[in-house]
Chains A and B, each alone.
Chain A
Amino acid sequence: MQIKVFGPGCPRCKKTEENAVEALKELNLEAELVKVSDLQEIMSHGIMMTPGLAIDEKVMCTGKIPSVEEIKEWISEKAR
């Protein structure tokens, strides 16, 4: 599983990344965590509002910081 966190490097995207790490830890799962800061790449995923989060190339959230709980839900659904 690959989780991508999109953002140019401000506090909000860092928080998103932290939440993703925390969610993985709580679920005791391993996944590849990629931080995407390049604008062109962010846009190529169709993300207009950062922060954004995608799991296995599917954009799950954009425009707000997803909570640890929300990320856990998405990961669990994916893993099913």
Chain B
Amino acid sequence: MDWKKEWKALLAIVAVFLASFYLPLERARFDNAIMESLHLVKWYAQEHVLLCLVPAFFIAGAIAVFVSQASVIRYLGAKANKVLAFGVASVSGSILAVCSCTVLPLFAGIYQMGAGLGPATAFLYSGPAINVLAIILTARILGIGLGIARAVGAILFSVVIGLLMHFIFIREDLQQADTQAAMPVPEVTRPLWQNALYFATMVAILVFANWGKPGTNVGTWYAVYSAKWIVTSVVSAFFAIILVLWFDLKGSKVLLVAIPTAILAFLFPHEPMVAFAAGAIGLSIITSTDKGEAGEWFLSTWGFAKQILPLLFIGVLAAGVLLGRPEHEGLIPSTWVSRAVGGNSLHSNLFASVVGAFMYFATLTEVPILQGLIGSGMGKGPALALLLAGPALSLPNMLVIRSVMGTKKTVAFVSLVVVMATFSGMLYGALIE
């Protein structure tokens, strides 16, 4: 019996046993927290998964497959125009690194074989920060204000941080690695305008299907809201045509999906999710069986779904147990939250930034957690601070960065992120008051 190998298993068994033995059931707060967690999961499933996450996964999948990474990387290479490199690095995060694991090798590559420390750190920050899926979900659940602030903040940050890093360490001469960067395979050429229209159509479907109900019954916002499903249907029909014309999907197959969807739309006009779900399922079926580009697109989409849905599920459960739904409480009393991160003080924003920087957030989990925190009394300013510092950094991630850049530069990078997140939070908090 080798205890050196088995002690971990024993520890796990004992821990689970003790937890189960002392489960604080019948304590109101605990039982309530469990219920809150289940309520939150149900709410996410009913409100957000079908209409928001599914289109978002298709969009992310499309970005990963169809946006020419080779042409973007050219701007980040060794011979690239340094000024342009900063701009490209700050926005290309969402294009080049939709999978979070590509961020680190790419960062190392840009740093040592490409445009240097500045653009590399700009990219390092922007990659996780401008994650397409995260921005979409943030806007949807935390409100369009935070969604936009997050996107704009992330882009601005990456440029500023990159520039600051460049100037702070300008005297250090980095020996450019001798190796020539291997360029990724050039993608299928479709005219840019066709790709742009394809993406715009998907984004339009996402936006209109999720058009929120306004407070009042008048005005343009409301007019769009009352017509949102008609608009979505028209845009979807347009999308179907695009798929047939430019993506080589057989017209007959697309019709086979479009007709049942339309029929369901007429049969259940007050349950648009039925038709939407049918459309999504149909699209999945015809793209997954396609041998060409559409098949690759679906593979990429499915990859994201498989990777992210379990994480999001766990994140929502955890957020529900700890913080409860908005207007409700979980295990953590709201007073603790408002004391630590309520209002818009320097202290709250700083606390949020530092905790965010060190804590690990699996992709998208920052959204339900933040929703819980805001519902428990976190100020909007500190919320933005956490959104800007959280996803981009975590303790394990800092260790890897350190292995590439060294301790001094890593410390500088992390400090810059925390400081800027704190001030952006305070600025945003002040602006929306």
Contacts and interface: CB of A to CB of B under 8 A. Distances in A.
Given A46-B113, A48-B110, A12 B101 contact: yes
A16 interface: no
Interface string B171-199: 00000010111111100000000000000
Contacts of B110: 48
Contact of B182 (A11, A40, A59): A59
A49 B108 contact: no
Interface centre among A46, A50, A52, A63 (most CB of B within 10 A): A63
Contact of B177 (A6, A7, A10, A43): A43
Given A43-B113, A45-B179, A63-B184, A50 B69 contact: no
B106 interface: yes
Most buried by B among A42, A46, A59: A46
A40 B100 CA distance: 18
A10 B69 contact: no
B424 interface: no
Given A48-B110, A48-B114, A62-B184, A8 B179 contact: no
Given A12-B99, A48-B114, A63-B69, A43 B185 contact: no
Contacts of B70: 63
A4 B69 CA distance: 22
A48 B113 contact: yes
A40 B108 CA distance: 8
Contact of B105 (A50, A59, A64): A50
Contact of B69 (A11, A12, A49, A59): A49
Interface string B132-145: 00000000000000
A39 B303 contact: no
Interface in B87-117: 96, 99-102, 104-106, 108-110, 112-114
A68 to B, nearest CB: 13
A10 B181 CA distance: 21
Given A11-B303, A11-B307, A64-B184, A49 B179 contact: no
B290 to A, nearest CB: 14
Contacts of A64: 184-185
A75 to B, nearest CB: 17
A62 B114 CA distance: 16
Contacts of B113: 43, 46, 48
B117 to A, nearest CB: 15
A interface residue count range (under 10 / 10 to 19 / 20 to 34 / 35 or more):
20 to 34
Contacts of A40: 108
A33 to B, nearest CB: 19
Interface string B243-278: 000000000000000000000000000000000000
B69 A47 contact: no
A8 B182 contact: no
A51 to B, nearest CB: 8
A74 B108 CA distance: 28
A10 B180 contact: no
A8 B101 contact: yes
Interface in A30-80: 39-40, 42-50, 52, 59, 61-64
B85 to A, nearest CB: 13
A42 B25 CA distance: 51
Contact of A47 (B96, B99, B105, B403): B105
Give the 3 A-B residue pairs with the shortest CB-CB distance, closest first: A48-B109, A63-B184, A10-B101
30 contacts: A7-B105, A8-B105, A9-B101, A10-B100, A11-B303, A12-B102, A39-B400, A39-B404, A40-B108, A43-B108, A43-B177, A44-B179, A45-B179, A46-B179, A48-B73, A48-B105, A48-B113, A48-B114, A48-B182, A49-B69, A49-B73, A50-B101, A50-B106, A52-B182, A61-B185, A63-B69, A63-B70, A63-B184, A63-B185, A64-B185
